[in-house]
Amino acid sequence: MDFAALPKLELHLHHEGAAPPDFIRRLGQEKSVNLEGVFDEAGNYAFRDFVHFLQVYEAATAVLKTPEDYARLTTAILEESAANGVIYTESFISPDFCGGGDVGAWREYLAAIREAADAAERAHGIVLRGIVTCVRHFGPEQAKRAALCAAETAGDWIVGYGMGGDEGKGRPRDFAWSYDLAREAGLRLTVHAGEWGGPRSVVEALDDLRVERIGHGVRAIEDPALVKRLARDGIVLEVCPGSNVSLGLYPDVARHPIRMLQEAGVRITVSTDDPPFFHTTMAQEYDALHRAFGWEAEAFAQIARTALDAAFCNEDTKVQIAKKLETA
């Protein structure tokens, strides 16, 4: 099967995490940023474990200093995604990295990203929408600034609010103020949970942040009552199998719980998370799922329909994407 040709929606992609190593290296040279420790000898991103991954991620992100840098990054990301058959992407964009949480600076970064996204849509047909993201290990006060940026720019393009970062730091309820503000601004909500935190982290995310999607969420499989709850309430999981395998959560895709979750009635979608870090692409994710579980075009079409239903964009955009799915 030509996996690149299947039309895909991606709901879980970190903007900085999608930066190709060459892109970061080139920008680092232009700006004379020391990138020691970021790459291995082969030129790939180098990290030992999850916490080290987050450190390397932030070191690489340090080269992205201006709105123009983010515009260039956006172009690079969307060209790669479009080449993988992605027709709709929601990416996590963090005011912490785009202006340090200042609303005025954030607006400038956002304008540059949107301009690049509009150009990519004209060139490749791919549609991008943004989810403002706070970083858990930066703490609740910084998250409030991110939520204020999100609330100020909420609309048809900034459509959601989320949180990534180190699940080992703090508790979901520490971030309830940010999530309440984002919800009141009309944003749809997701949060990373059940990746490094166990099933309890998913329960707390649902109870304390009242999200409708969970980033990862796969460790819910360890609690049958929680799996039933996810299925009953139609909570959508943004599953990133290649990311989980690369970071050592599961030994391989065949032993990843995505199929068990799906068979238990949980609504699952497929994303890459930080594709160059994890040596993956959307086409490779589909290929790996096909090899591990024998999933064919119909299974992938179902995943695309679930993602379209769970997307945070407005109805007009959904109709536009649905037409593309139908004609593909």
Residues with catalytic function: 195
From CA 199, how far away is CA 80, in angstroms rounded?
33
- Determine the residue with CB nearest Zn ion: 273
The angle that helices 140-153 and 176-184 make with each other, rounded to 10 degrees, is: 10
Q: Which two tokens stand for residue 80?
A: 């790669």
Q: Closest Cα to residue 119, out of 79, 160, 70, 66?
A: 79
Q: Is 195 a residue that touches ligand ADE (CB under 6 A)? A: yes
The angle that helices 282-293 and 297-310 make with each other, rounded to 10 degrees, is: 130
* Residue list 123-162, contact with ligand ADE (CB under 6 A): none
What mask, x for binding ligand ADE by CB under 6 A, covers residues 264 to 303? ---------xx-----------------------------
CB of 326 to ligand ADE, least distance (A): 32
CB of 192 to Zn ion, least distance (A): 6
Residue owning tokens 């201006």: 66
Query: Would you tell me how many other CB atoms lie within 10 Å of the CB of residue 227?
Result: 20
Between 178 and 317, CB nearer to ligand ADE: 178
- Which residues, in sequence order, are bridge partners of residue 135? 164
Q: Is 172 a residue that touches ligand ADE (CB under 6 A)? A: no
Pick what 61 binds: ligand ADE, Zn ion, none; C-beta below 5 to 8 Å, kind-dependent. Answer: none
CB of 13 to Zn ion, least distance (A): 8
Pick what 81 binds: ligand ADE, Zn ion, none; C-beta below 5 to 8 Å, kind-dependent. Answer: none
- Which residues, in sequence order, are bridge partners of residue 128? 89
From CA 111, how far away is CA 117, in angstroms rounded?
10
Q: Which two tokens stand for residue 63?
A: 């080269």
Q: Is 165 a residue that touches ligand ADE (CB under 6 A)? A: yes
Between 28 and 165, CB nearer to Zn ion: 165
Q: Is 12 a residue that touches ligand ADE (CB under 6 A)? A: no
Non-local CB neighbours of 321 within 8 Å, separated by 6+ positions: 9, 87, 88, 127, 308, 311, 313
Pick what 172 binds: Zn ion, ligand ADE, none; C-beta below 5 to 8 Å, kind-dependent. Answer: none
Binding test (CB under 6 A) with ligand ADE, winner from 8, 14, 25, 259: 14
DSSP labels, 275-300: TTTTT--HHHHHHHHHHHH---HHHH
Pick what 195 binds: Zn ion, ligand ADE, none; C-beta below 5 to 8 Å, kind-dependent. Answer: ligand ADE
Q: Which residues bind ligand ADE (CB under 6 A)?
A: 14, 17, 57, 164-165, 192, 195, 243, 273-274
